[in-house]
Structure 1
């Protein structure tokens, strides 16, 4: 705590997750305490320890920092524990490897006091020291992931994964952040964006960390985890847009070719194209169904917020309506098939023109498949939307 305000209310918690950071933890704590003393801010330095075995806890305690033991392992788990135990109204978090600038946090505090919910550091604007960030991260990983994050969620920040960031504790706790690994950093930005929080950024510097051991990060593995997380929280980009393109292109091609072959620029398209077009249509439709089920599950479990328009659609939708739509598609396919069999019967079940048979069979099979998928989706969506009581945390389920 800032010695100038002993026992008073704490405005700022400087939070550092820690896992065996004995080499650099002391200098980080001293810099953070120096900032609090210089600025006159009533604050504390909180170390959320993730199971250190190198004496990091004692180092922090000896320097007057508060230590909270995180019960679960993981970067996100340590930060969730720290946020739950922080005493300040605002929190500024940063790694304890001496790569972030804990001396100059004035910009973060100023923006937080001004009403920002989340203040991100921008290392690309503040300056990255030589050797502080691997070239793969600097020129590929961070720019690409930040660009994807900006495209999907529009947070209007240039450094999506900066680890030095400040936030209003109560506002971030309202997001009910869940991830316990490296995805936590992305989850905070994504959910803040989806909740329409006020997000701002300030320049900050990054220098080479002071540890002799390699960092905990694994470039390709962690990069993929972040990308996967961004895609899962952007179901429109993952499911809807590709699904719509595939479904309508496939359906359009099947519809046109049902009346006969087409030649474009000297290239003929006929029943073989219909087969692949129907597969494209089914893939697109399946993607759209996955979107609906993913959205239902994510909103039910609190992973994604539900917009007023989405709530209105869900209120009008019912599993029974889906079943009726699916049954209609299924029966349409069956009727087309029956008509084809009747035509075959009129020929005494003799030989038929293979091209014409396939031209009719494909729409029939397509209707049956789309109808069956819709029926199954409707049953599953009914399971997801069935009202249920909350399971008590101490409940024991026997297998």
Structure 2
């Protein structure tokens, strides 16, 4: 279910029986008086021309320029969303929609609402999410800033495809269609521009049926600057993609650092390079810590419904529990203490005087590494057990 939209803060201007509506067209709105009438008329024409039973919902996010009255006068249903943000407006509009299928698009006249049948046809075929692709459909001159066209959108889409193996080739197209019941299951939560990425990422992770159709992008019809802030919103998209991929954010870098540290330790132990050995030991400890972050974040995200169940993780968790963690941690601690006692014995034999650091440090550094890893394993096992506690 869509969450975080207080029911007492959502009001609509009319009601329609759900079984009479096939398509709901949802447009987020914040001071779009210059273009909203054009968008509504185009959407109405599309519904009528294709004999589609539908409704037009304006998810107003606090307009002060009369956008609401324009929409009402044209027969659109206005839903007031008091929680600020692009994602909040869309979530509220989707929550209040009555159609089996939903088409969402910006109210700035940059998207062609007269050409919605490619989306609706794919939804009727059984697809859960139908994305528009502006790079295949065509971007009119001046419709998209160059740094969006050649840097922001391609790079973020490429990152999304790498992290999640998504089939989507235009993550941030604002015109898309989806089945309402399918999107409800995703529990979309973001409030800002990253809502566009969240929908694609979660649909991919839940293995929903996705496809894309070419769509065009035209210069918007507003005289004011857009609400989008390129670098701020680009960072929010990138941050979201990383946070929803514990494998790439934590697991892979942690495994790489830990493996390289262990291999370097084995290579350096027979040598006299104790200073480099110290760095490799630190790399091993930090790498292990990052790997545990991957495990913690994955378990927490699944528990809170942010990520779907992972069968591989479930199988792994059958072997990783408090008891096995305490045993492994205990073995590491014993090894660390034993090596420390051995090093202390060498110092005692030298009457607690000066020692050759190239010899003693080859014992002390592995001892400290085992002690640090042992402590991390023990307490990480307790924390993982806390995350795994049953709750209703």
Q: Is the structural similarity TM-score above 0.5?
A: yes
Q: Distance in 2 between matches of 1:260 and 1:224?
A: 45
Where 2:20 maps in the other structure, the secondary structure is coil
Aligned to 1:77: 88
Alignment of 1:280 with 2:283, yes or no, is yes
Matched, 1:88 2:91: no
Residue 395 (structure 1) aligns with: none
Unaligned runs of 5+ in 2: 1-15
The answer for the alignment partner of 1:397 in structure 2 is: none
Q: 2:33, 2:70 within 8 Å by CA — same for their partners in 1?
A: yes
Q: TM-score scaled to structure 2, two decimals?
A: 0.93
Contact 2:168-2:200 at 8 Å conserved across structures: no
**Could you say what secondary structure the match of 2:131 adopts?**
strand
1:321 alignment partner, one of 310, 324, 339 = 324
RMSD: 1.5
Distance 1:244 1:7 in 2: 51
Which position in structure 1 is the counterpart of 2:5? Answer: none
C-alpha contact 1:8 1:42 (8 A) present in aligned 2: no
Once the two structures are TM-superposed, the CA of residue 278 in structure 1 deviates from its matched residue by 1.2
Q: Which residue of 372, 375, 385 maps to 2:378?
A: 375
Pairing partner for 1:312 from 294, 312, 315: 315
Instruction: Name the counterpart of 2:53.
Output: 42
Per-residue CA shift, 1:156-197, capped at 9, x if unaligned?
A: 121111110000100010111111111111110000000011
> Could you tell me whether the CA contact under 8 Å between 2:28 and 2:61 is conserved in 1?
yes
> Which residue of structure 2 aligns with residue 106 of structure 1?
117
Distance 1:364 1:7 in 2: 68
Task: Report whether the alignment pairs 1:252 with 2:263.
Answer: yes
Answer yes or no: is 1:191 the counterpart of 2:202: yes
From 158, 177, 189, the counterpart of 1:147: 158
Check 1:124–1:69 CA distance in 2 against 1; reply closer, same or farther (3 A cut).
same
CA distance in 1, matches of 2:157, 2:17: 41
Q: Tell me by how many angstroms 1:72 deviates.
A: 1.2
**1: CA distance, partners of 2:185 / 2:391:** 23
Q: Residues 69 and 6 (structure 1 numbering): CA distance in 2 closer, same or farther, change over 3 Å?
A: closer
Distance 1:306 1:284 in 2: 25
SS at match of 2:242: helix
Deviation readout 1:315-352 (Å, 9 max, x if unpaired): 44322322332222122112111111012212222221
Partner residue in 1 for 2:223? 212
Matched, 1:63 2:74: yes
For the residues of structure 1 that align with 2:311 and 2:19, how far apart are their CA atoms? Answer: 42
Shift of 1:8: 6.1
1:18 aligns with 2:29: yes
**Residue pairs, 1:231-380, within 5 angstroms:** 231-261=242-272, 270-380=273-383
Match of 1:161 among 160, 164, 172: 172
Distance 2:126 2:340 in 1: 64
TM-score calculated relative to the size of structure 1: 0.92
Q: Compute the displacement of 1:7 (Å).
A: 9.0
Aligned residue pairs, count: 377
Q: Distance in 2 between matches of 1:93 and 1:171?
A: 15
The 5-angstrom pairing of residues 114-153 of structure 1 reads 114-153=125-164
Who is 2:193 aligned against? 182
Aligned-pair CA distance for 1:379? 2.0
2-structure distance, mates of 1:160, 1:259: 52
